[in-house]
Amino acid sequence: MTLHHYEKRAEVKFEDLYTNSISQIQLPKNELPEKISDPQVIRQLVCDELFMDGNSRQNLATFCTTYIENEVRDLMDLSIDKNMIDKDEYPQTAEIERRCVSILANLWHSPEKEDTIGCSTTGSSEAAMLGGLALKWQWRKRREAQGKSTNNPNFVCGPVQICWHKFARYFDVEIREVPITSDQLGIRSDQLKDYCDENTIGVVATLGSTFTGIYEPVQELAKALEVIQNETGWDIPIHVDGASGAFIAPFIQRNLIWDFSIPRVKSINASGHKYGMAPLGVGWVIWRTVADLPKELIFNVDYLGGQIPTFALNFSRPAGQIIAQYYNFLRLGREGYTAIQNDCASTAHYLGKQLAKIDSLELLYDGYGGIPAVCYALKDENTTGFSLYDLSDRLRMHGWQIASYPLPSNRQTIIVQRIIIRHGVSRDMVFLLLRDLRKELEHLKNNPVMNSTNKVSFHH
């Protein structure tokens, strides 16, 4: 380099994202900064902070989509500015939502197929609230027609996801969560008669228990409710919480009868962002027929020059997830969903078989018959010298996030771990997980934990 060139270069101010002044200070944590900043620098610093999060692909506690195709990213990007509630402004997005509702109504055997009613939501929680509300209103109308009291409604269920406890509290409905005894993981049909009464707005059956992954027996529950109706006259409907299972059973458990083919099933919710494989932020609730959703719950809103019928807890919502859901329906079809769910199930079976060979573990759910997952406990927690919480902590050092938590009542003393196999959890990842899990179990056996933790590290 000539002297001339060297001098010229020394005059140029060196520029780099990390030499920018805001990169030299702690980022503001509680107050807005006074000054505007360079977008690239801020983007990089925010990205850097996100490294502290766990790696979502190794999060085996979640049911939600963590593997996303580039085409989905493109569609999400294209629709980032679309509000799905503006149906008048974005009629084609509204049409796409309508098509998704029809596709699901067909998949779940609604007798009204293309014409029944349903909607997208932000997830299964909102969908469950809407399903629960419809049950409450239908019950109230029946009671009013009979000139009977509409006080003290209740619903009956097995171990349910937290959204149903929220529904109970927010909408003032008593939850009767049937406790599980030592030989069961979900509600049994013979338990219904002790919990249902004339104020029961519905029975919620879970297809894919959050706690263990098992399916509750919807057909058996419907039969038991038939008997109850014949004996008492109470016509108690079923809502199926198919957050995960409603996107699995139609493809890989095709002989299972659980959906609208059972007349008593009046509504079904599912998470598009779980086994529907859409990106986070979409759920679905579909009613068996139009008549099953009380008209009074539908708002016709005058908005931006149009009449919008809405039934939702939120108003504005991003449209991208719905568009991506439709993309998945078209891209995968029955063939693709079946292939992916089958692969997940066989990986879960493989994992279950390997875990069954580990002495210290007792398998509660081996991946057969429910969603692609496994659930297990320590055989004898009192003698192992460590808890599953300790195992979760050790596995976290390898990046794996595996939830430990107590079973619901009456089995809260049993701490379990659940591993979810979803699209993108490959057989090879499971090999690596098993390698780490065996190693850490060995470590804990040889190094018992003095103050073994019994913390609640995971909330449903």
Ligand X SMILES: Cc1ncc(COP(=O)(O)O)c(C=O)c1O
Beta carbon nearer to ligand X, 241 or 259:
241
286 DSSP β-pair partners: 118, 268
The answer to the question of residue 63 lying near ligand X (CB under 6 A) is: yes
Q: Where are the alpha helices (DSSP H) in 276-372?
A: 320-356
The answer to the question of residue 392 lying near ligand X (CB under 6 A) is: no
Beta carbon nearer to ligand X, 67 or 303:
67
The answer to the question of residue 189 lying near ligand X (CB under 6 A) is: no
Who contacts 276 (Cβ-Cβ below 8 Å, separation ≥6)? 247, 270, 282, 284, 325, 328
Beta carbon nearer to ligand X, 199 or 206:
206
Letter string b/e over residues 199-209, b meaning 16 or more CB atoms within 10 A of that residue's CB: bbbbbbbbbbb
Beta carbon nearer to ligand X, 65 or 360:
65
Whole-angstrom CA distances from 74 to 93, 120, 206, 331, 346 are 16, 21, 34, 14, 31
- Which residues in the 119-138 window bind ligand X by CB under 6 A? 123-125, 128
| 451 cis-preceded (ω within 30 degrees of 0) | no
Min. distance of Cβ 126 from ligand X in angstroms?
Answer: 7
SS3 403: strand
The answer to the question of residue 212 lying near ligand X (CB under 6 A) is: no
Beta carbon nearer to ligand X, 208 or 352:
208
- In this structure, what token pair is assigned to residue 149? 């009291």
Residue span binding ligand X (CB under 6 A) among the ranges 9-17, 67-75, 238-246, 380-388:
238-246
The answer to the question of residue 210 lying near ligand X (CB under 6 A) is: yes
Min. distance of Cβ 206 from ligand X in angstroms?
Answer: 5
> Residue from 271, 384, 392, 417 that binds ligand X (CB under 6 A)?
271
Min. distance of Cβ 229 from ligand X in angstroms?
Answer: 26
> Residue from 161, 321, 341, 417 that binds ligand X (CB under 6 A)?
161
Q: How far is CA 59 from the centre of its chain?
A: 14
Give the amino acid at 18: Y
Check if the beta carbon of residue 190 is closer than 8 Å to that of residue 272.
no
Residue span binding ligand X (CB under 6 A) among the ranges 193-201, 206-214, 307-315, 349-357:
206-214
Beta carbon nearer to ligand X, 199 or 392:
392
DSSP state of 45: H
Residue 229 burial class via C-beta count within 10 angstroms: exposed 0-12, middle 13-18, buried 19 and up: middle
Q: At 11, which helix (H) or strand (E)? A: helix 3-11
Q: Which residue is nearest to ligand X (CB)?
A: 123
Check if the beta carbon of residue 85 is closer than 8 Å to that of residue 308.
yes
Residue span binding ligand X (CB under 6 A) among the ranges 202-210, 388-396, 416-424, 449-457:
202-210
118 DSSP β-pair partners: 286
The answer to the question of residue 325 lying near ligand X (CB under 6 A) is: no
Tell me the site size for ligand X, rule CB under 6 A.
15
The answer to the question of residue 328 lying near ligand X (CB under 6 A) is: no
The answer to the question of residue 65 lying near ligand X (CB under 6 A) is: no
Whole-angstrom CA distances from 179 to 75, 282, 295 are 44, 31, 35
- Helices and strands (H, E) in the chain, number of each type: 13, 13
> Residue from 241, 259, 292, 393 that binds ligand X (CB under 6 A)?
241
Min. distance of Cβ 210 from ligand X in angstroms?
Answer: 4
Residue 438 burial class via C-beta count within 10 angstroms: exposed 0-12, middle 13-18, buried 19 and up: middle
The answer to the question of residue 66 lying near ligand X (CB under 6 A) is: no
The answer to the question of residue 341 lying near ligand X (CB under 6 A) is: no
* Alpha carbons 135 and 269: distance in angstroms, whole number: 13
Min. distance of Cβ 328 from ligand X in angstroms?
Answer: 16
Beta carbon nearer to ligand X, 26 or 316:
316
* Chain residues in the site for ligand X (CB under 6 A): 63, 123-125, 128, 161, 163, 206, 208, 210, 241, 243-244, 271, 283
